[in-house]
Amino acid sequence: MSFPGWKKYIEEGDLVIVYMTRENMTPIFMKKGTVFQNRFGVYKHDDIIGKEYGSKLVSSNYRGFVYLLHPTPELWTLVLPHRTQILYIADISFITTLLDMKPGVNVIESGTGSGSFSHSIARTIAPTGRLYSFEYHQDRANLAQVEFNEHGFGDIIKMHHRDVCKDGFQMKDQVNAVFLDLPAPWDAVASAKEAFKQDRTGKICCFSPCIEQVARSVAALDEHGFIDITMYECLIREHTVAPIQKVDFSVAIKDAQDRKAKGLPSVESVAIKRKLGKDEPVPTAEEVEEAANLMLVSRTMGETRGHTSYLTFATFLPPSATRIVDENVPENDSN
């Protein structure tokens, strides 16, 4: 089974992402003679093996069903066993783009953590790129190695058990991009600088939850000659589908006239006082269909989900480019 490739039919030994709802998915390795069970019924692996990825499978008692999905880095991020805090898709896609990751690129990441970002990086740089992943927690490093092998990334991801802040990456002139998700990324900046390919520009990103960490990373990046230092924050604004009352204008006009005649406040002023969506139970799709006077609309959620981390990006300039810049500075320029 491999994440990087794609195949049509499920075979014994494959990892299948069993989808029940958007919030409820689980990864399962297929093994003949075993079953998967949830509160809606039993699903035999023997019935799953041989089916097409993407199929719908009804439980043996016909009370429930699941979808059998092909694994992807995006789905893995949603179902993986959490050993640490992890990166999610909004940050992953943004960092992947700004670090110029593509097939053939060599990347350093530290720490590996739960391997959420590692899967997306490996898929992006495959088949010829290499990800050098560093983790100083022995068990996390071992478990990540097992998962990378099981998921077909054994050749692409080179796992190292090391404290990179103390012992560095011990790499020279090898990578195009560096990603640091560490409590003290500034301690790894000098070593990261040596690891960049020295004949071209490279990109680095430090992922830190606190602004004080950003300040220290920016100072270290600046001190080591990185340029274009820029910090971003990714926030997700979700939309939801909710029922609202349909408006019949003739009824609404008559209602407004009646309310005015009786000296009651207008419907709008009452509605404005209500907190939109707060504490209101959301009806099921069936209830909505039954209520002929309701219609479904899309609206933004009342709150924007909080901050994950600050993303500090910078560009590594090769020594040759730095020399050109220095040579172009007039000798009598004291700045």
Ligand X SMILES: C[S@@+](CC[C@H](N)C(=O)[O-])C[C@H]1O[C@@H](n2cnc3c(N)ncnc32)[C@H](O)[C@@H]1O
Q: Which of residues 18 and 159 has its CB atom nearest to ligand X in the complex?
A: 159
Q: Which of residues 137 and 197 has its CB atom nearest to ligand X in the complex?
A: 137
The strand pair at 130-135 and 157-161 is best described as parallel
C-alpha distances out from residue 301 to 60, 242, 269, 306, Å: 38, 10, 22, 13
Place of tokens 């019924």: 41
Determine the Cα–Cα distance for residues 206 and 222; give it in Å rounded to an integer.
13
CB of 190 to ligand X, least distance (A): 14
Footprint of ligand X (CB under 6 A): 84-87, 110-111, 113-117, 134-137, 140, 163-165, 181-183
Which amino acid is present at 16?
A: V
Asked if 100 contacts 123 with a C-beta cutoff of 8 angstroms, the reply is no
Determine the Cα–Cα distance for residues 297 and 154; give it in Å rounded to an integer.
46
CB of 229 to ligand X, least distance (A): 21
Residue 270 backbone zone (phi > 0: left; psi -120 to 50: alpha; other: beta): alpha
- The response to whether 173 counts as a known ligand-binding position is no
Q: Which of residues 59 and 77 has its CB atom nearest to ligand X in the complex?
A: 77
Q: Which of residues 85 and 240 has its CB atom nearest to ligand X in the complex?
A: 85
CB of 108 to ligand X, least distance (A): 11
- The response to whether 279 counts as a known ligand-binding position is no
- The response to whether 147 counts as a known ligand-binding position is no
CB of 82 to ligand X, least distance (A): 8
CB of 295 to ligand X, least distance (A): 41
Distance linking the first and last C-alpha atoms of the chain = 59
CB of 87 to ligand X, least distance (A): 4
Asked if 173 contacts 272 with a C-beta cutoff of 8 angstroms, the reply is no
Determine the Cα–Cα distance for residues 236 and 255; give it in Å rounded to an integer.
40
Asked if 148 contacts 118 with a C-beta cutoff of 8 angstroms, the reply is yes
Determine the Cα–Cα distance for residues 191 and 2; give it in Å rounded to an integer.
33
Q: Which of residues 3 and 36 has its CB atom nearest to ligand X in the complex?
A: 3
Determine the Cα–Cα distance for residues 293 and 289; give it in Å rounded to an integer.
9
Q: Which of residues 38 and 84 has its CB atom nearest to ligand X in the complex?
A: 84
Determine the Cα–Cα distance for residues 59 and 65; give it in Å rounded to an integer.
6
Which residues contribute to the annotated binding site for S-adenosyl-L-methionine?
Answer: 135, 163, 181
Which residues contribute to the annotated binding site?
Answer: 135, 163, 181
